[in-house]
Structure 1
Amino acid sequence: MRIAALSDIHGNLPALDAVLADVARRGCELVVNLGDILSGPLFPAETARRLMALDLPTIRGNHERQLLEQAPERMGASDAYARGRLDDAALDWLRALPAALRLGEDVLLCHGTPRSDLEYFLEDVDAAGARPAAPDKVAERAGDADAGLILCGHTHLPRSVQLPDGRLVVNPGSVGLPAYAWDQPYPHVMEAGTPHARYAIVERGAHGWSVMHVALAYDHGTSARAAEQHGRPEWAHALRHGRMPPPARGAAA
């Protein structure tokens, strides 16, 4: 089984289209979507229509939950922009998405960790910023999830960790937003370092699961210009460079 894992599209339709074309070229048997699908100042309605027509195995992320549950006046700018542009069909689609999904007996999809859509799985954050999590922390967050392959998203950084018991945790990185800043639990930035659209291909063979992280060039200029037109220059910088703008590190995803 060869699976293409996509996450954190954030309404970036040019990036999504490039990834889907690459996935088709590589002959993946299944494409899965790990959440944070539409929120952001880009193309939320168009992205929703594209994905609804494909009917991929899809879970919701924290941004889907926030977009559906928070009052408009309490939403962040990215959720509010997307919420104001989605029709009833798109909202109904989001409401129907599960928080987690199992594929067969050996694959688990979650957005953050199996227990929370806001928890970082493969990274730790403290006053010094973000860094890769220690293996024991990753294992603790995996808990008793009974799956040989756990696919997660949320942090926008491509990373894979093999647990001592053999379980493989894979974050494919972000299709649509290669950098963001956040202030919880401490101010920090997550930066992939280049503007590429990212996803991962996982494949089960005779000796277990293999993973290949893909960084794909695409027309990021179109997306950056849309962010600028919609009043989000920090997004435009992240989309062009894969980093947040100095010295003010910008706003959250």
Structure 2
Amino acid sequence: MSRIAVLTDIHGNLPALEAVVADAGARGCTRFANLGDSLSGPLWPAETADYLMARDWPTIAGNHERQLLTVDRARMNASDAFTHDVLEPRHLAWLRALPPILALAPDILLCHGTPTDDLEHFLHTVENGGARDATDAELRDRAGDRRDALILCGHTHLPRVLALGDGRTVANPGAVGLQAYDDDHPAPYRVENGDPFARYAIVEGGRVRLHAVAYDHETAARRADANGRPD
């Protein structure tokens, strides 16, 4: 059975993406899948798009892909606005073709947030300015009537694998390119993984293993700073 590297939340961080792909290849991965939020950020969005388009992995749209295509430029957040201004028509055409969910195999589903909402957190629940592990009842509600043995999600940037009481598994590989951020949906909160490592997961035979990879994160930090985003 093939060994699949699952990536999500690259956010235009090309050096982190390249480090993950090299590490996954060294670990014997022969297939790759991407769970979205691939480009938005003050880093290398167009270059990351070119990299991904050339490889043609199974890829879905995250909330940032949807926002890039549907939100008026004047109302975009800073990451989407920066990305919008450097993407070419061919990049936008690629984004338009991405589905919101995708069956990677008969028993493996790819989604960004949850199967029905690209902004909903699957494995964590936001409260009191942070995020806690979701309860089994919350997990079942978010999974809905999907019967996939394995649901792979992104969006929160927090790596986690949880088994539902009914035997299904939900896993988040963690972010390739952004290990800390703050947001105001569904309420103000902050996520911090505590290190700059690029994260991904390997799926083989239904088992999910989480991995973290060192890369030249200082170069990415300097790039963000030069593009007006010291935050």
TM superposition score normalised by structure 2: 0.97
Question: In structure 2, what is the Cα distance between the partners aligned to 1:111 and 1:128?
Answer: 22
Question: In structure 2, what is the Cα distance between the partners aligned to 1:53 and 1:129?
Answer: 37
Q: Contact 1:42–1:227 (CA<8 Å) still a contact in 2?
A: yes
| Equivalent residue runs for 1:1-253 within 5 Å | 1-204=2-205, 209-234=206-231
Question: In structure 2, what is the Cα distance between the partners aligned to 1:218 and 1:18?
Answer: 6
Which one-letter code corresponds to 1:171 in the other structure?
N
Cα displacement (A) at 1:31: 0.5
Cα displacement (A) at 1:128: 4.7
Q: Contact 1:179–1:192 (CA<8 Å) still a contact in 2?
A: yes
User: Cα deviations across residues 68-120 of structure 1 (Å, max 9, x unaligned)?
Assistant: 10110000000010010011111100000000000221110000000100000
Query: Percent sequence identity over matched residues?
Result: 60
User: Cα deviations across residues 198-234 of structure 1 (Å, max 9, x unaligned)?
Assistant: 0001111xxxx21111010000011000000011111
RMSD (Å), alpha carbons: 0.9
Q: Contact 1:129–1:186 (CA<8 Å) still a contact in 2?
A: no
Q: Contact 1:126–1:185 (CA<8 Å) still a contact in 2?
A: no
Q: What SS is found at the alignment partner of 1:169?
A: strand
Question: In structure 1, what is the Cα distance between the partners aligned to 2:105 and 2:8?
Answer: 20
Count of residues in Structure 1 that have an aligned counterpart in Structure 2: 230
Q: Contact 2:130–2:191 (CA<8 Å) still a contact in 1?
A: no
Cα displacement (A) at 1:185: 2.3
TM superposition score normalised by structure 1: 0.89
Question: In structure 2, what is the Cα distance between the partners aligned to 1:174 and 1:185?
Answer: 19
Question: In structure 2, what is the Cα distance between the partners aligned to 1:211 and 1:159?
Answer: 10
Change (3 A) 1:124 1:21: same
Change (3 A) 1:72 1:168: same
Cα displacement (A) at 1:2: 1.8
Which one-letter code corresponds to 2:163 in the other structure?
Q
Q: Contact 2:102–2:110 (CA<8 Å) still a contact in 1?
A: yes
Q: What SS is found at the alignment partner of 1:113?
A: coil
Cα displacement (A) at 1:127: 2.9
Question: In structure 1, what is the Cα distance between the partners aligned to 2:24 and 2:130?
Answer: 33
Q: Contact 1:156–1:173 (CA<8 Å) still a contact in 2?
A: yes
Which one-letter code corresponds to 2:59 in the other structure?
T
Q: Contact 1:152–1:172 (CA<8 Å) still a contact in 2?
A: yes
Question: In structure 2, what is the Cα distance between the partners aligned to 1:61 and 1:220?
Answer: 23
Question: In structure 2, what is the Cα distance between the partners aligned to 1:193 and 1:7?
Answer: 18
Cα displacement (A) at 1:140: 1.1
Q: List gaps (5 residues or longer) in structure 1.
A: 235-253
Question: In structure 2, what is the Cα distance between the partners aligned to 1:166 and 1:4?
Answer: 23
